Structure 1
Amino acid sequence: MATALPKLALVEQISQRVMRVLGCNPGGLRLQGTNTYLVGTGKRKILIDTGDPEIPEYTQLLKTVLDSHNASVQEIIITHFHVDHVGGVPSVCRDVLKTTSLPVSKMHRVEGPEFDLRDIKYSFVDHHHTFKTDGVTLRAHFNPGHSDDHMILYMEEENAVFSGDTILGGRTTTVENLSQYMKSLQDILDLKPAVIYPAHGAVINDPASTINYYITHRQEREKQITQFLTDRKTEAHAVMTIVKHIYVDVPEDLHKSAAKNVHQHLLKLKDEDIVECFDNKWKLREAS
């Protein structure tokens, strides 16, 4: 079984420049909840991610934090389109910031619609866009794989990375495109960050070993899938059948998400002519 997650404080000043405010939405893939971050050394902060829609506990918590520091939010940055990151934008703007004209920046989706912010407009940014506030310079890096629009933020002053959902603090993540995701892991490794601030889970103070574990973990999962099909090569198997055999250490309520990852591995193996698919069932490719 998966190990229990450590308790995180609702609000924590985790560095001179970074304050974490939990999204008050724990459970499942959200772990202890979405980590939203207030960044900057002055009164005007950048808010990274906003949690789920209409969570009054979060909006009140964020308002209390800003009021207690006599601070405001100059802009919001969204790491990707998933609802537990962008969903809180309308309520934060309405109930906390009292404005709908604040810049809400993210990268464009490659496919599919953006989350509807109603009367709030997105400010779409490109790879290497730079955000600045007092004491902080954030550089956006396109980092797809978990989602098609995913970005990370590199903070120059701390040699730190806000990793969004590419890397989590305490668990592995879900993947929408495995080939892109493996490259994105390497891209973060190449930045050689001293610390990673993930969108879920605890701060990661050993980035290199964590990223290498993520890479090794995916490689091991691929070996498990290939071995499962090798041992049962006379018939084809549904994705969920494979999940139930190789994700024995993962709670059953996460198997649906695990199935998405297995499917991504199978698509990669199909591109490499190792497996083939018949009626949504998979088996080793027969030798020519």
Structure 2
Amino acid sequence: MGRMETHPVGVAVPLGPLVTRVLAGNASPYTHTGTQTHLVGQSALAVIDPGPDDAAHLEALHRAIAGRPVAAILVTHTHRDHSPLAARLRQATGAPVIGCAPLTMADEGPRADAAFDIDYAPDRVLADGERIAGDGWTIEAVATPGHTSNHLAFALPEANALFSGDHVMGWSTSIVSPPDGDMGDYMASLEKLLGREEAVYYPAHGEVVDNPQRLVRGMLGHRKQREGQIVRLLGRGTHAVEGMVEAMYVGLDARLKPAAARSVLAHLIDLQKRGLAIAGEGGAWHAA
């Protein structure tokens, strides 16, 4: 599904005639090798997901840009490992920040690097299907809420490619963390991508995805399997989220258990909306 690749930090790696990747040095259990910024074009460029507010990554982007004009700085969503460097890159290049809508609610999840960037201030917000064009490239916004409510992917028709942000990654399924993350929206966004024809995905984390339809079908199946596990557990009695994580994620790295708990909670909230689960007192859940 994904190419096995090396991931040198700060090095411009060509992925195709129109696409170059630059990896930020923010590797973690949640970001894998780090956040991947993509440069689109050969002359006037688009920069997708400039990344965390990191001086070394900004320098690496300047090296990769190599004096070429930047036409647009595009942002898939406003987690702090994706959008904060947009402001400094805009100041340095004069390019407008374009893409997802701002989101300022507090993050209740377990990961410090995933808190929302409250300083994100786009010059233009793209709606689903809206396009911008540059020298030899076109970018189309594809609304893909779920991981966050403001998440966009960006299609590149000239390469039959999709920059999938954190919605579809080349190393792991996305964390869906309530209250902003929504499992129903996430599943609907995956179904939406199944109806599209891009042949390659460039995710913000992990390997290039060469067979995206197979991966997306697998992700849908994985989430439906997790939902089935939860429904069976609820059918046997009342459960707390933490106990479900222990039963469902045997052998999981302890550092990732808080993230797993957020996704289980997202499933439970989705089941509650559908009349299949009830939230009880003290964080306990039971079947409807």
Query: Which amino acid is the alignment partner of residue 247 of structure 1?
Result: Y
Q: How much has 1:122 moved relative to structure 2? A: 3.1
Whether 2:98 is the aligned partner of 1:105: answer: yes
* Alignment correspondent of 1:154: 155
The reply to whether residue 75 of structure 1 matches residue 82 of structure 2 is no
Partner of 1:8: 7
Matched residues in 1 for 2:68 and 2:8: separation? Answer: 20
TM-aligned CA deviation for residue 51 of structure 1: 1.1
Q: 1:218 aligns with which of 200, 223, 239?
A: 223
Equivalent pair of 1:8/1:202 in contact (CA under 8 Å): no
Q: Residues 104 and 117 of structure 2 are in contact (CA less than 8 Å); yes or no, is this contact kept in structure 1?
A: no
Match of 1:239 in 2: 241
Distance 1:136 1:174, change over 3 A: same
**Distance apart, 1:19 and its partner CA:** 0.2
Q: Is the 8 A contact 2:72 2:97 kept in 1?
A: yes
**1:199 pairs with 192, 198, 204, which one?**
204
CA RMSD, 1 decimal? 2.0
Q: Separation in 2 of the partners of 1:226 and 1:121?
A: 41
Residue pair 2:100, 2:152 contacting (<8 A) in 1 also? yes
1:267 is matched with: 269
- How far residue 205 of structure 1 moved from its aligned partner, in angstroms, is 0.2
| Separation (CA, whole Å) in 1 of partners of 2:234 and 2:118 | 42
Task: Kindly indicate whether the alpha-carbon contact (under 8 Å) linking 1:276 and 1:284 is maintained by their aligned counterparts in 2.
Answer: yes
Aligned residue in 2 for 1:165: 166
1:111 deviates by 7.3
**1:44 match:** 44
Q: Which moved more, 1:182-191 or 1:263-272?
A: 263-272
Q: Which stretches in structure 2 are left out of the alignment for 5+ residues?
A: 107-115
Structure 2: which amino acid aligns with 1:64?
A: R
Structure 2 residue aligned with 1:209:
214
Distance in 2, matches of 1:178 and 1:166, equals: 12
Q: Report the number of matched residues.
A: 269
Distance in structure 2 (CA, Å) of the matches to 1:173 and 1:46 = 25
Percent identical: 29
CA distance in 2, matches of 1:260, 1:173: 11
Give me the whole-angstrom Cα distance separating, in 1, the residues matched to 2:105 and 2:123: 15
What residue is the counterpart of 2:286 in the other structure?
283
Q: Does the residue aligned with 1:85 lie in a helix, a strand or coil? A: coil
Is residue 104–residue 118 contact of structure 2 (8 Å, CA) maintained in 1?
Answer: no
Once the two structures are overlaid, the 10-residue window that deviates more, 155-164 or 269-278, is 269-278
CA shift, 1:103, in A, is: 0.7
Task: Return the letter of the residue paired with 2:83.
Answer: V
Question: How many Å separate the matches in 1 of 2:220 and 2:251?
Answer: 19
- What code does the residue aligned with 1:281 have? A
TM-score under structure 2 length normalisation: 0.87
- State whether structure 2 residue 22 is matched by structure 1 residue 21: yes
Provide the rounded CA distance (Å) in 2 between the counterparts of 1:194 and 1:249: 34
**Structure-2 change in CA distance of 1:250 and 1:122 (3 Å):** farther
Distance of 1:166 and 1:78 partners within structure 2: 13
Q: Secondary structure at the match of 1:84?
A: coil
Contact kept in structure 1, 2:24 and 2:36, CA below 8 Å = yes
* Greater radius of gyration (CA): 1
Indicate conservation of the 8 Å contact 1:7/1:32, yes or no. Answer: no
1:66 alignment partner in structure 2? 65
Q: How far is the alpha carbon of 1:116 from its aligned partner?
A: 4.0
**Aligned residue in 2 for 1:141:** 142
Helix, strand or coil at the partner of 2:139: strand
TM-score, normalised with respect to structure 1: 0.87
Cα displacement string for residues 3-23 of structure 1 (whole angstroms, at most 9, x for unaligned residues): xx9642333100100001112
Helix, strand or coil at the partner of 2:155 = strand
Residue 252 (structure 1) aligns with:
254
Shift of 1:261: 0.8
Q: Please give the per-residue CA displacement for 1:143-179, whole angstroms capped at 9, x wherever unaligned.
A: 1111111111111111111111110001111121111
